[in-house]
Structure 1
Amino acid sequence: MRQWVRAAALVAVTALAACGGGGPRGIVGGSYTGGAVPAFGDTAPHVWKHGHPYNLPVHGVDVSRYQGNVDWHAARRAGVSFAFIKATEGGDHSDPNFRRYWADARAAGVPRGAYHFYYFCRGGAEQAAWFIANVPRERGALPPVLDLEWNHASRNCRHKPSAAEVQREVSAFLSVITQYYGQRPIIYTTVDFYRDTNIRHLNAEFWLRSVADHPRETYPGQRWTFWQYTGTGTAPGFRGNVDLNAFAGNRAQWNMWLGSRMQR
């Protein structure tokens, strides 16, 4: 039964992820009107030419220490339906606000998952072990997320691996995390990383960053579950900008997806 529900949820989500929508009804003062979550806004609003996120009904945020103090109850009342919270990066760094956000989001009734920012100077299994050491295995949590983007210009890690190395080490990470949490991680990625590494061949759900156009234009043919559509969003409960994201389906499909992908 669980396998059927999960398959149905993914079919519904991926079918919708290939579709676009009409244009937004209006953009006023850094915000939009007529969208599914009118309390959300954007300090640098974008004109969407090939479909837009605003009328998708399920929206959420991703956060790290830079969000500071968050009023999760206000965020939930305003329409934040999910949150992905930064937990770890590399093999030795953890976000100092993770545990607070993790507990407070749950107390406010916001479904949340943890994400790991990947560095290429450590192996996938080592980074998976670091994530496990910092993120509880908890009933009702969203699947873990692996954040994959180029970071070889950082002062901590200058290595830029080949596509083959990326796929090998990422596969190791996914395998360890899946075994421990009972859910295969979602992969978050950016246009250039996706293009350079062929990670589309990995067995994973995708969360795609596309802040200038619809994902079907920037990632042709790629199915997706989440779309990060702005890094300059605004929402009640957050003092400054926050990343905003949309789920690919409607409310019924969202509830089906939760039923199949929450940790047990």
Structure 2
Amino acid sequence: MRHLGKVLLGLMLVLAVACSRTPPQGGGGGGRYVAGTVPQLGDSQPHEWRNGHPYNHAVHGIDISRWQGEIDWARVRHAGISFAFIKATEGGDHNDPNFQRYWREAAAARIPRGAYHYYYFCRTGREQAEWFIRNVPREVGSLPPVLDLEWTHSKTCPRRPSSAEIKREASNFLDIVGRHYGQRPIIYTTVDFYRDNNLGDMRAEFWLRSVADHPRMTYPGQRWAFWQYTGTGTVPGIKGDVDLNAFAGSSADWKRWLSTRLTR
């Protein structure tokens, strides 16, 4: 009986340890995580994903700007990060001071990377396209450029143009930049901006921000290539929070996408 008691105690301890295990950080305990390759990623403010867990996607990446500071790109790559979008320019006269360094370092770490432009409503699409082209190299193997369209809280430009003006000027940017790099830019946008301006009829691939639910719930019927699922992500090699993103398809889909969408 004494031996049996020790066996039962051991089983109880094993069960206690098993029950104490938590889902991957960022899972929120929602029970919606299915399977697949989960990078060593986390979230400093995790929540429950009710309609589709981002970790069910096989391919993950980051988007960054000067605020990420020093980055250990080798650790980032080994953590499972498959791509990086780097802020390059804003408006018609501002560039990110860390862009050129990040651009070189990401390439050295063999992480596919692309540049994004933050749109400013007091400059024309042409002016902003020309500024982007002046600051971003046209390099073989780069990801397509990105146009970041969202409402801003700029003290120097408080105006909110009409939807027609926004789409006209943004289309000018897409056309000019697309011709220069040989790849039509991706549009990044947020839920409110997308709805306010009916962006679904624009000719572009979409990168959608949706940090509270799956994009199929927040952007019904909209096809997308990338999903920004948190602004409070954590990645080995980066200090502090960072934006995390998922690619829409499988690892095989990602390879096929790269084969058609990289700059040549």
TM-score, length basis structure 1: 0.88
Deviation at 1:28, TM superposition (A): 5.7
RMSD after superposition? 1.5
Deviation at 1:230, TM superposition (A): 0.2
Runs of 4+ in 1 over 2 A off after TM superposition: 25-38
Kept after mapping to 1: 8 A contact 2:151/2:193: yes
Deviation at 1:36, TM superposition (A): 2.5
Amino acid at match of 1:109: R
1:52/1:143 CA distance change after superposition, 3 Å = same
Question: Could you tell which deviates more after superposition, 29-38 or 244-253?
Answer: 29-38
Kept after mapping to 1: 8 A contact 2:25/2:41: no
Q: Tell me how far apart the structure 2 counterparts of residues 205 and 248 of structure 1 sit (CA, whole Å).
A: 11
Deviation at 1:26, TM superposition (A): 4.9
Task: Give the match for residue 228 of structure 1.
Answer: 228
Amino acid at match of 1:239: K
For residue 154 of structure 2, give the secondary structure of its aligned residue in structure 1.
coil
Deviation at 1:46, TM superposition (A): 1.6
Q: For structure 1, which runs of at least 5 residues remain unmatched after alignment?
A: 1-24
Q: Percent of aligned positions with the same letter in both sequences?
A: 66
Q: Tell me how far apart the structure 1 counterparts of residues 40 and 259 of structure 2 sit (CA, whole Å).
A: 27
Given the alignment of the two structures, is residue 27 of structure 1 paired with residue 23 of structure 2, yes or no? Answer: yes
Greater relative contact order (Cα < 8 A, sep 6+): 1
1:53/1:226 CA distance change after superposition, 3 Å = same
Q: Tell me how far apart the structure 2 counterparts of residues 137 and 29 of structure 1 sit (CA, whole Å).
A: 37
For residue 55 of structure 2, give the secondary structure of its aligned residue in structure 1.
coil
Q: For structure 2, which runs of at least 5 residues remain unmatched after alignment?
A: 1-20
Task: Give the match for residue 63 of structure 1.
Answer: 64
Larger Rg: 2
Question: Could you tell which deviates more after superposition, 209-218 or 43-52?
Answer: 43-52
Q: Tell me how far apart the structure 2 counterparts of residues 174 and 30 of structure 1 sit (CA, whole Å).
A: 34
Q: Tell me how far apart the structure 2 counterparts of residues 235 and 55 of structure 1 sit (CA, whole Å).
A: 17
TM-score, length basis structure 2: 0.88
Deviations 1:184-233 (A, max 9, x none): 00000000000011111110000000000000000000000000000000
Kept after mapping to 2: 8 A contact 1:37/1:78: no
Q: Tell me how far apart the structure 1 counterparts of residues 22 and 144 of structure 2 sit (CA, whole Å).
A: 34
Task: Give the match for residue 205 of structure 2.
Answer: 205
Deviation at 1:147, TM superposition (A): 0.3
Q: Tell me how far apart the structure 2 counterparts of residues 256 and 190 of structure 1 sit (CA, whole Å).
A: 27
